[in-house]
Structure 1
Amino acid sequence: MKRWKFLIVISVAWMLLSCTKRFGEINKNPYDFTEEELKADFQLMGEPMSQAQLNLLIYNDPPTAQLQQNLNADVFSGYMMSPNPYEGNINNLNYGLLYYWNVKPWIVTYSNVMKSCDFTQQKAKGRYQEFYAWAQIVKVEAMHRLSDIYGPVIYTHYGEINADKSIDYDSQRDAYYAFFKDLNEAIGVLTDSVNNHAAWRFSNFDLVYKGDYSKWIKFANTLRLRLAIRINGIDPKKAKQEGEAALSHPLGLLTTPDENFNVNITPVTHPLNIMCNNWADIRMGAPMESILTGYKDPRLPHYFVHAEGGPDVYHGIRNGIAISAKEEYTSFSSLVKLDSKIQFMTAAEAWFLKAEAALNNWNNAGDAGVNYEKGIRTSFQQYGITNVSDYINNDSSKPKPYVDPHNPVNNVPPGDKHLSTATIKWDNGAPYEVKLEKIITQKWIAMFPEGQEAWSEFRRTGYPKLFPVVINNSGGTISTEKFIRRLPIPQIEYVTNPQAVARAKQTLKGEDNGGTPLWWDLR
């Protein structure tokens, strides 16, 4: 059977098993296989892992991918904005949250990723430890993203059905602690395999690193550091412990662009290409215009296509504005066509994480300024841009005021408190907060177009400075000045898992709405 036919069969089987109430059923495989079949190129363990990678952002269903991430995190991050006035211009983009939109991240992650990883782990446990460890890392990557959307998630209790037919959530704190534990175990297994020169067992199914254990270890270390940095404000002791463990590992972090965590979805096109070029449903966000044009950033033409008016004209749409018709803003800057790889982590991000770890005085983090500049250089290298020195030494350019040529109500004028005054050049003598804003602003630029992580970092740090919505349709549940902090627990869970939802809500800092911050969110 050809590989893509097999993928389709596996994908259909997995898609049929999405409802939370059926986790018990999901964990029983009616088509079990023998040891001999397991050894046949490991296909029946490997193909589910291919599906797990492909569905970190659903690769073959642009309408679902649009709801999984684009019409929430990609916009909330300031990267993008839609010219489409969905639902009479009352939608996520102006905090009129649409619950039938916001269930998609949950459904895709459990049906297509968690399910696949759990399946592989059940078959690999005690026999094929590299497969088990690999699934562990992919599972953490998927589930930390989900937790950073909703807060509490079903992780350590996945598949455990209580007497009342509920399946318990982990609080976000408990989920993060479990992520660290699982990453530590997986890194240990793969490190032993590297030290013992073990053969790469999952090369045929790995759509990121082609089975290279060393690169998976570097990714897992970087992911561990990302999560450690994420919780430093709320849990500094645990953050330091986990961050220093990642920084001290002999194989280190991601360092160069060839180690970026990109899932190869060939021959399928990137879903953002469909949303932007086929549907004209997404355009540049106003903060991107302000920051990239203000800094004269040479990455700008690698990210966006110029707007009508000339090759040097770029326009972004401000979030949460009054849009009467889609045609008003479709002439604004679209995204440059992306290749058939979906980016989830860059080596540049790793350098910026090290820069912040150095600000925190963590062991083995190095020098903050050196790491900061290395992050910029690595991002430039990713796009083949060679002249980086002028940019790094620029101590005068700042983000530009924003002007909406269609409606001055949406402008962000000079001196506005939401307009950043951060410059680029590093200054060792600057206060901590000034240094942090530089690091996060440059990390934000370098992570594009990965809006989920950019939104999380904005919520954690308040950087880069973004423009608040002009119209707030939340009914008072989301503060315009504090921005949206999370998505509510999906309504399907209230219907199918109500007892567990009631318990999960007790772990939140407030009501189950978009204005309640996550556990690690102190802003």
Structure 2
Amino acid sequence: MKQHKLIFGGLLALSLFTMSGCTKDFKETNTDPNRMPEARPELLLESAIYSAVKANQTRALRLTHELMQVHVTTINSDEIHRYIIRPSESDYMWNAWYLQMTNFRDMYETAKKLRNLPNQTYYDSYMGMALIMDTWLASLATDTYGDVPYTDANKGRSDNLYQPTFDRQQVIYDSMFHKLEEANTLLAQNIALPAANLVRDPLFAGNISQWRKFGNSLYLRLLLRASDRPESNAVVKIKEICETNTALYPLMNSNAESAVLRFTTTAPFVSAFNTYRDYDFNGDNGLTQFFINTLNNWADPRLTKWANTVGGVYEGIPSGYAPGQQPERMSSYNAALKNEPLLGNILNYAEVQFMLAEASLKGYFNGTSQTYYNNGVNNAITFWGLAVPVDHLLNPAITWVDAETTEQKMEKIITQKYFTLFFTDFQSWYEHRRTGYPVLPVGPGVQNNGEMPARLQYPVSVQSLNRTNYDAAVSAMGGDQINVKVWWQKD
């Protein structure tokens, strides 16, 4: 199956993230090995979630953590930490996201058909789940690349559409908001799944209430990301969700309700890193001074889970070092992380608390920012099964100070959030692009005028096989360079 997936990935790139075309004469023989036509929603849900999360894990390690100074390579020729990103880096996630987006959209359409059969109303719940996961992947695609195929995407098999147009990011966000509204309405019915299907839900074991809270928490994440754009009306919706209509939009209320794909060590329910050798996982990566020093200053117990000591202490190395000046690796990832269940995090309760802290700080709704911030700090630690140190919130580097400026408070919120997003796809990069936090040191070897890349370039395959629509998208965005800002990031 692994070989089939690799082969299909190549086909996917050639057909621009659509399913392989099937003619009438080859309906039986030309079958995608990864997805059956009209596959039942419960089967699509499980396999698509695993595939998407595992793909995200690998790029969190390769891209996000290099850009965001969690670790830095000690291989001089690998220059992501210097903000040099080759166009070829774009292909893997584009293909992975659009493949699973197809599966979630198929899941929705199939569930929509099945719901009308006798005693099948529980497929309303599957429709809601599919909308949430479709939105999750669409948000990753647009927040990484900017304007992307969305309305016409994934229609190769259904409509023979292999050259889809690109939607503007604002349009995509509007559609994602509508989908999450629909998901909330569907899941509000709280229609239970059959007992036999519960094991096929790897996130919440069929708990519809928790799915609904996940969807609304994702909604809040995306609204906050768009909140600097007045045309999004995001601030009005944030107030409704967080203050005026909270009963209609329940959010995650504890660590237990976090959306985490908790891996086992039994195939196929394993982490993407399960088969990695220790060297493959972290043999050429050293945790950075920014990452280690911050956690040391906080006396944060998560270091014991995440890092190894050198000479009995946790010590990092500089990121962005000059070519030919690579440092000797010091602390590195704890090898146990390769099979850590929490590395399947999608969105957790601590992140929700930090979102609420920011939204209330900015006056989007009436709330106590300090309470949300403190809850976030504490639950980010207990999420990892660790005890919060005594007087942790009184640490001068952590404690909330009312007299500080809004920007000082924002820096505290987002810096804490950065560590909460450990191994969570590209989220810490998105948040840095949105807020400028955490403030990362710029090493002497950093290129790109010291400017954090604002996006990835479109894949080479898209440029060659969908040229007309690619050119139109590039013209609308203002270029296909890594410094071109996406809609929600523009001034």
Please indicate the TM-score interval, normalised by the length of the shorter structure. Answer: 0.7 to 0.9
Aligned residues: 459
Q: Once the 2 structures are TM-superposed, how far is the Cα of residue 70 of structure 1 from its aligned partner?
A: 2.4
Question: Structure 1 residue 234: deviation in Å?
Answer: 2.3
Q: 1:114 aligns with which of 92, 101, 111?
A: 101
Q: Name 2:250's counterpart in structure 1.
A: 252
List aligned pairs for 1:460-479, cutoff 5 A: 460-473=434-447, 478-479=448-449
1:341-360 alignment runs, 5 A limit: 341=342, 342-360=344-362
Separation in structure 1 between the aligned mates of residue 375 and residue 161 of structure 2, nearest angstrom:
53
The aligned residue for residue 34 of structure 2 is: none
SS in 1 for 2:102: helix
CA distance in 1, matches of 2:323, 2:414: 30
Deviation at 1:329, TM superposition (A): 3.3
1:411-454 residue CA offsets vs partner (Å, 9 max, x unmatched): xxxxxxxxxxxx31112232211111111111112222325111
Structure 1 SS opposite 2:109: helix
Q: Give the distance between the partners of 1:323 and 1:345, measured in 2 at CA.
A: 38
Q: CA-to-partner distance for each residue in 1:2-32, whole Å, 9 max, x for gaps?
A: xxxxx87996896575136366655879469
Aligned pairs for 1:119-158 within 5 A = 119-126=106-113, 127=115, 128-158=123-153
Paired AA for residue 493 in structure 1: V
Cα distance in 2 between the residues matched to 1:122 and 1:10: 25
CA distance in 2, matches of 1:239, 1:496: 36
Q: Does 1:439 align with 2:413?
A: yes
Equivalent position amino acid for 1:183 in 2: L
Shift of the alpha carbon at 1:243? 2.0
Distance in 2 of aligned mates of 1:236 and 1:437: 26
Cα distance in structure 2, aligned partners of 1:309 and 1:316: 15
- How far residue 489 of structure 1 moved from its aligned partner, in angstroms, is 0.9
SS in 1 for 2:353: helix
Question: Please, which moves more after superposition, 73-82 or 134-143?
Answer: 73-82
Which has the larger share of helix? 2
Verify the 8 A CA contact 1:91 1:98 in the aligned structure 2.
no
Q: Is the 8 A contact 2:57 2:423 kept in 1?
A: no
| TM-score normalized with structure 1 length | 0.79
> Which residue is 1:70 aligned to?
61
For structure 1, which segment, 373-382 or 296-305, has the greater mean C-alpha deviation from structure 2 after superposition? 296-305
Contact in 1 for aligned 2:287/2:330 (Cα 8 Å): no
Distance in 2 between the 1:48 and 1:198 partners?
A: 15
Contact 2:57 2:424 (8 Å CA) reproduced: no
User: Among 288, 291, 296, which residue is 1:288 paired with?
Assistant: 291
1:175 pairs with 2:175: no
Contact 1:255–1:351, Cα closer than 8 Å, also in 2: no
Corresponding residue SS for 1:344: strand
Cα distance in 2 for partners of 1:450, 1:469 equals 25
Measure the CA separation in 2 of the matches of 1:28 and 1:185.
32
In structure 1, give the amino acid aligned to 2:449. S
| 1:511-522 superposed matches below 5 A | 511-522=479-490
What is the RMSD computed on CA atoms of the aligned residues? 3.1
Equivalents in 1 of 2:19, 2:427: separation in Å?
Answer: 33
Q: Quote how far apart the aligned CAs of 1:182 are.
A: 0.8
User: Percent identity at matched positions?
Assistant: 21
Range with greater deviation from structure 2 (371-380 or 163-172): 163-172
Distance verdict in 2 for CA 1:483–1:116, change over 3 Å = same
Matching residue of 2:46: 50
Secondary structure class of the residue paired with 1:456:
helix
Shift of 1:235: 3.0
- CA 1:183 to 1:14, structure 2 compared with 1: closer, same or farther past 3 Å? farther
Provide closer, same or farther for how the CA distance between residues 186 and 457 of structure 1 changes in structure 2, counting only shifts above 3 A: same
Structure 1 segments unaligned to the other structure (5+ residues): 1-6, 33-41, 396-422
SS of the residue corresponding to residue 333 of structure 1 reads coil
TM-score of the pair, normalised by structure 2 = 0.84
Q: Deviations over 1:195-230 (max 9, x none)?
A: x66757852321111111111111111111111111
- Distance in 2 (CA, whole Å) between partners of 1:98 and 1:241 is 39
Letter in 1 for 2:480: D
1:55 is paired with a residue whose SS is helix
Displacement of 1:360 in angstroms is: 2.4
User: Which residue of structure 1 lines up, in the alignment, with residue 91 of structure 2?
Assistant: 103
Which residue does the alignment assign to 1:21?
15
The amino acid across from 2:479 in the alignment is E
CA apart distance, 1:43: 6.8
Partner Cα separation in structure 2 for residue 65 and residue 226 of structure 1: 20
SS at 1:264's partner residue? coil
- Aligned-partner SS, 1:348: helix
Deviations 1:373-418 (A, max 9, x none): 01111112213333445121122xxxxxxxxxxxxxxxxxxxxxxx
Aligned residue type for 2:332: S
Between 123-132 and 140-149, the greater mean CA deviation after superposition:
123-132
CA spacing shift, 1:497–1:433, aligned 2, 3 Å:
same
CA distance in 2, matches of 1:199, 1:136: 20
1:485 to 2:488 alignment? no
Q: What's the counterpart of residue 498 of structure 1?
A: 467
List per-residue Cα deviations over 1:329-380 (Å, max 9, x = no partner).
34432235221451121110000001111112233x6211110001111112
What amino acid does structure 1 have at the position aligned with 2:415?
T
The 1:139–1:323 alpha-carbon spacing in structure 2 relative to 1, beyond 3 Å, is farther
Separation (CA, whole Å) in 2 of partners of 1:242 and 1:10: 44
Q: Which moved more, 1:260-269 or 1:340-349?
A: 260-269
Distance in structure 2 (CA, Å) of the matches to 1:237 and 1:169: 19
SS at match of 2:210: helix
- The 1:465–1:201 alpha-carbon spacing in structure 2 relative to 1, beyond 3 Å, is farther
Distance 2:221 2:168 in 1: 19
Q: 1:91 to 1:293 in 2, by over 3 A?
A: same
Is contact 2:193-2:206 (8 Å) kept?
A: no
| Shift in CA distance, 317/46, structure 1 to aligned 2, threshold 3 Å | farther
Query: For residue 407 of structure 1, what is the aligned residue in structure 2?
Result: none
Report the equivalent of 2:33.
Answer: none
The 3-state SS of whatever aligns with 1:337 is helix
Change (3 A) 1:206 1:18: same
